[in-house]
Structure 1
Amino acid sequence: MSWIVLDIEGTTSSTESVHVGLYSYARSRLGPWIDAHRDDPEVAQAVKETGGATTEETVAILHGWMDGDVKATPLKTLQGQIWAAGFANGELTAHFFPDVAPALRAWHAQGRHLAVFSSGAVSSQRPWFRHSADGDLSVLIEHHFDTVNAGPKRESASYERIAAALGTDDLLFLSDVPAELDAAAAAGWQAIGLRRPGEPSERADFGAHRVVTSFEEIG
């Protein structure tokens, strides 16, 4: 397997650390961040795409998306900026399951290439791996993909785009979401499901996919 592509939420890291930790951190900071960075083209574009006429209206729309777990690009852009700042100033530290860092380092040492495909924006993926309690894991990750540069995670075409970008069909995808594994397999990838104790997909039906509870089980 020349490339191992990782999902984050529920696979390398707990869902709670993202939905409770990161989401709560960003929620109260959206309005102040927008007001303080109106000259930033990315912020201006994100605000425009929400359709809100005022900061208050924009924040209300963003909060609605957060409450509904909507993977909207404007929200991901703003959250990503806020999280990056939080990691940089030491207010945030990324959570990883205990087996993840040793496995990533071992795979890297074996010559395997590592990439990430997450619904979270690339701008938030990089600091997540850089600021872990296990040290800087970002140096192990060669490519980052999200729903903007690859496409929806439950569509096989997204995995075909990633394969084309990486220049290989020797690919393994690790995820806790059966529908994502189905899409990867339909694109010709190998796919392994993660059944993490206490996570939302702990009792999910993974069908014919191989399932593990830890990266330690993956050779």
Structure 2
Amino acid sequence: MTGWTVLDIEGTTSSTESVHVGLYAFARPRLGPWIDANRDDPEVRAAVEEIGGGTTEEVVKVLHDWMDHDVKATPLKTLQGRIWAAGFAAGELTAHFFPDVAPALRAWHAEGRHLAVFSSGSVSAQRPWFAHTEDGDLSVLVERWFDTVNAGPKREASSYRRIAAELGGTDLLFLSDVPAELDAAAAAGWRTTGLRRPGEPSEDADFGPHPVVTSFGDLR
């Protein structure tokens, strides 16, 4: 295996529940205190301004509504990512990965396959997620990190063209549990494979023309 394999996270490498229940529950009560404690931080200030400003309570109300409806809003992802990174650094959080993921990533890396991540979660959240797992530090295997800020929306072909230009490769494989994301990658000329994880929201999804596996161990 040569070239690049680009990974989605939620539902692909890790369970949706570990994000929506574990991480969301950790971030939810910490959003207000975090904003108040970091008002002078340029990234935090920019996120608050993008939401529309106002009091901390007003901003948090918007953020909680976005969380309740799983809105992939950049300000929310930015603030969550900062809170999660602090939680991982303090040993309060450990990332969940499906059992087949770590062995596959290590094997692909050893074979010379380059690895990257493209997730709607911010890069600041992606790195500690891969660094603090029960299987050790997997972030050392990943060479590039992409989110909706530095690449664009995950369901638009232009985002995958942008990533391809950044990676400079022609052998590009995207792994995701979301058919619409796979459609966008394929439209940009990528190879694709869908992940049909048992018990995940996309278990019964129609993946159309995309190859489908239930485990990274099934990829060849």
- TM interval, shorter chain, is over 0.9
Q: Is the 8 A contact 1:6 1:173 kept in 2?
A: yes
Report the CA distance between 1:92 and its aligned residue: 0.3
Q: Distance in 2 between matches of 1:106 and 1:28?
A: 39
Letter in structure 1 aligned against 2:197: R
CA–CA distance in structure 2, aligned partners of residues 188 and 49 of structure 1: 33
Structure 2: which 5+ residue stretches go unaligned? none
CA–CA distance in structure 2, aligned partners of residues 147 and 192 of structure 1: 21
- 1:1-20 to 2 correspondences below 5 Å: 1-20=2-21
Question: 1:136 aligns to what SS in structure 2?
Answer: coil
Deviation, 1:52, is 3.6
**SS across alignment from 2:143:** strand
Kept after mapping to 2: 8 A contact 1:197/1:213:
yes
Equivalences, count: 219
State the partner residue of 1:36: 37
Structure 2 counterpart SS, 1:28: helix
Residue identity opposite 1:213 in structure 2: T
Q: How does 1:4-83 map to 2 (within 5 A)?
A: 4-83=5-84
Query: What residue number does 1:135 align with?
Result: 136
Q: Is the contact made by 1:5 and 1:116 (CA closer than 8 Å) also made in structure 2? A: yes
> Within the alignment, does 1:147 sit opposite 2:152 as a pair?
no
Aligned residue number for residue 203 of structure 2: 202
Is the Cα contact below 8 Å between 1:126 and 1:138 reproduced in 2?
yes
In structure 2, give the amino acid aligned to 1:198.
G
What is the SS of the residue equivalent to 1:191?
strand
CA drift at 1:147: 0.7
Q: CA RMSD in A?
A: 0.7
Deviation at residue 51 of structure 1 after TM alignment:
1.2
SS at match of 2:151: coil
Residue-by-residue CA offset, 1:14-61 (whole Å, 9 max, x unaligned):
000000100110000000001111111111111111114101001001
Q: Extract structure 1 runs of 4+ deviating beyond 3 A.
A: none
Structure 1 alignment gaps of length 5 or more: none
Q: Quote the residue 2:127 is aligned against.
A: 126
Matches of 2:106 and 2:25 in 1, distance apart? 30
Identity of aligned residues (%): 80
CA contact (8 A) 1:52 1:61 kept: no
**CA distance in 2: counterparts of 1:152 and 1:69, whole angstroms:** 15
SS at match of 1:179: helix
Q: Cα distance, 1:208 vs. partner? A: 1.1
**Which residue number in structure 1 is paired with residue 88 of structure 2?**
87
Q: Which amino acid aligns with 2:66?
A: W
